[in-house]
Chains A and B, each alone.
Chain A
C-alpha cells in the first residue's frame, strides 16, 4: 500500500495493480471521487442502480463485488493496452488544464524512449490524484495513447 507515498509512486502502484489483476488494491487506491466516477460510468453502461449503491456503501455480496472489480480491472487494462507497463516513469505535472486545486495533483505516466533518440518519453496516461486524509488516491486515469486495433 501507499501510506505516505508520493503521488508518483501511488500512480505507478495503481497501474501495476491493474496490470497484475490486483483488483482489491485497485479499489483501495481509488479516491471517493474516483469510486463515484467508476460507479456512475458503470450505471450509464447498464449496471443495476441498486448494485451500484450496494457497491458504494460496501454492502454488496462478495460475488457481486468480485465480479464488478474484475470488470473494472479489465476495463482499465483495455485503456492501457499496448503500453509497456513494466518500465513506466511518473512525472508530476506542475500545471495542468485545468490547474489542479490544492490537495490535487496530476501525474503523467510516461514510457521512456531509448536514450539515443534524445526525445522525451511517450505519454501513456494522465492520473488525476487527490490527497485523502494524508494519502494520495486516484480520481481518474485518462489514457493518452491510441489503442491498438
Chain B
C-alpha cells in the first residue's frame, strides 16, 4: 500500500524496486514522476489497483474494469539515441507477450505499436504506452505503461496475477537488456510476432493525411515499414500514427 501524506513506500519485489498504490491517476504518471524526480532505477515498477485516468496512446481509454486489469508501469533506462527511442514500444510488447506465454500459455501477437492480441482470435489482450524522457543526445528514461485484460489471458486471483506481473517484468527486462547491442534484435523479435507483417493496411496519420501499403516489417527505430505494390517504402513512426485498419 502507498503511504498516505508522505513519500510513497518503496518495496523490494521480484528483484526490483516497486511501489503499489490502491488508487492513482495512472501508472504512467506515478512511474514518470518517480523516474524524473527521484531518478528511479531501471526496472523500478509502479502497480496501481485502480487508475483514475487509464489512458493509452493518444488518449485512448482503457475500458476493462480495474478489478480485471493488471496495470503497471516500469522504468527503462535504454542505451538509445532519440532516433531509436521508439524501440521501447517494442520492448513493452515483447514483455507482455513473453510473460503471458510463460504464465498462462497464451499465444499472443503484436499489433503495432501499442496492442497485444490473442494470436488466434485477434481480441486485444493488453495495451502499452511508452513515454520517453530525453537527455542530451540520448534517452534518459522511458516509462512503459502496460494494461492487461486478465480475463483475456485467463488469469484470476492475486497469486496468479502476481506471477503474471513477475513474468512480464522478467520478459521486459530481457528485451530491454538486448538493447545494449543495439535495437536490431528487439526489432527482429517483435517483427516475428507482429500480426501486421504482410497485411495491407490503411493508416490515418497525425496531424493529417494517410498512408497505405503492405506492412513490410518493423525497422530498428521501432517504426512501421510500409511497401507499395511498386516498391515504394514509407516509414511511419509511432508519433505519426492516429489509427490503423487492416484492409
Interface of A with B (CB < 8 Å)? 19-25, 66, 69-70, 73, 77-78, 81-82, 147-149
Contacts and interface: CB of A to CB of B under 8 A. Distances in A.
Interface size for chain B: under 10, 10 to 19, 20 to 34, or 35 or more residues? 10 to 19
Interface of A is mostly: helix
Contacts of A20: 212-213, 228-229
9 contacts: A21-B213, A22-B229, A22-B230, A23-B232, A24-B230, A25-B230, A77-B210, A82-B208, A149-B208
Contacts of B210: 19, 77, 81
B52 interface: no
Interface of B: 207-213, 226, 228-232, 234
A22 B208 contact: no
A21 B208 contact: no
Nearest to B234: A21
B176 to A, nearest CB: 34
Contacts of A149: 207-208
Contact of A22 (B209, B211, B226, B232): B232
Nearest to A73: B232
Contact of B208 (A19, A24, A25, A148): A148
Nearest to A18: B212
A109 B200 CA distance: 24
A137 to B, nearest CB: 17
A21 B209 contact: no
A81 B208 CA distance: 7
Nearest to A78: B209
A74 B213 CA distance: 13
A23 B228 contact: yes
Contacts of B234: 21, 70
A43 to B, nearest CB: 22
Contacts of B231: 23-24, 66
B232 A81 contact: no
A77 B209 CA distance: 7
A77 B234 CA distance: 13
A21 B225 CA distance: 13
A99 to B, nearest CB: 34
Contacts of B209: 77-78, 81
B232 to A, nearest CB: 4
A69 B208 contact: no
Closest 9 CB pairs of A and B: A21-B228, A24-B230, A23-B232, A21-B232, A22-B230, A148-B208, A81-B209, A20-B212, A22-B228
A147 B209 CA distance: 10
A149 B208 CA distance: 8
Nearest to A28: B230
B233 to A, nearest CB: 8
A69 B232 contact: yes
B211 to A, nearest CB: 7
B230 A70 contact: no
Nearest to B211: A21
A23 B230 contact: yes
Among A20, A24, A69, A147, max chain B CB count under 10 A is at A20
Contacts of B230: 21-25
Given A22-B230, A77-B209, A81-B208, 16 more contacts: A19-B210, A20-B212, A20-B213, A21-B232, A21-B234, A22-B228, A22-B232, A23-B230, A23-B232, A25-B230, A66-B232, A73-B232, A81-B209, A82-B208, A148-B208, A149-B207
